[in-house]
Amino acid sequence: MNLGYARVSTTKQDPGRQIDALGAAGIAPERVYAGKKSGAATDRPGLTTLLGYARDGDVIVVHTLDRLGRTVRDTLNLIHPLRGRGIGVRNLADPIRAGSASPEDPMAQLAVVLLALFAQMERPCTLERAAHARAVAAAQGRRTGRPCVVTPSQLVHATQMRPAGHAIAEITAATGLTRSTPCRHLPVREPEPVTAAPVPAGRLACPSCGHQPASRAEIRDHRAELAILRRHLDGGRITEARHCATCQPRDHVVDAACADCGDGPLITGQPPGPGEHPGELALGWLREHGWQTHPELLCPAPAR
């Protein structure tokens, strides 16, 4: 008696094409066993039930031999015990017709090994092509995977609530996001202190005045201020320092912006003057760092 077996790798795939082919081969639907499991999985209920039902003289029919296994070892380890029980295996759609119903036929054994080898070779090639396609899409700025259903306004709202000390449950209730979305998109919150001691120093302490945030809600803004490297005219030289919001200079600021890209340092300590251009000391510092200062300010960008 012929018994059919159809398999697809994921629950979103449909084995209908294989089932139709098995039906066209004369196998009744009640004798067709199906499963939605990867070929590398060892726990396949449909296949397990089929192997337990098959008896001496039966033939297991598959659409292609790789439905039984994705490696040579797995396929042969499955077929060999069946041969000992008098159960054969036959394929329908492979370029090489294979059958194990005749154990003494060397060409049939060779066909089984070759098809199992082709199935094993196909798997890494498929993964390589998929990885290359994802890399090309990422390089072109295209997003792969499911469409994103999270709006930028929801993320902004969640980002504003997180440093204020709100729990994930409160964020999801206010924004309408699922619980996994804030955990995936938002930065990890600083660990809560277990004592009444102030926030520990270290990277949070201002290198200029030693100030550190008094609460967890101030940490984000404090770090943003310390990320800015400020230049200051101090007598006849320019100094560089990082300041927090408490100690940063309140002097007049001159923007030494590149005429091409618009980027450039902010320089404090220079008295206000006509045109708001950097003074000679600031221009000398810019030239030392590769800037062109005449006829206009141009930064040492790699593109030039």
pLDDT of residue 113: 81
Residue 291 and residue 294: Cα distance in Å, rounded? 9
pLDDT tens, residue by residue, 189-221: 555 555 555 545 455 788 888 887 776 667 777
**Does the annotation count 215 as an active-site position?**
no
Low-confidence stretches of the chain (pLDDT beneath 70): 98-104, 163-165, 187-203, 215-217, 235, 250-252, 271-277, 301-304
State which H helix or E strand residue 21 sits in: helix 16-24
pLDDT of residue 303: 44
Q: Give the phi and the psi of residue 216 in degrees, each rounded to 5.
A: -65, -30
Residue 109 and residue 96: Cα distance in Å, rounded? 12
Confidence (pTM): 0.44
Domain borders along the chain are 2-139, 152-185, 216-288
- Is residue 122 helix, strand or coil? helix
Residue 146 and residue 177: Cα distance in Å, rounded? 16
CA nearest 245: which of 291, 200, 214, 287? 214
pLDDT of residue 230: 77
- Third-level CATH fold of 2-139: Rossmann fold (3.40.50)
Q: Give the phi and the psi of residue 88 in degrees, each rounded to 5.
A: -100, 170
- Which candidate in 9, 38, 153, 208 is catalytic? 9
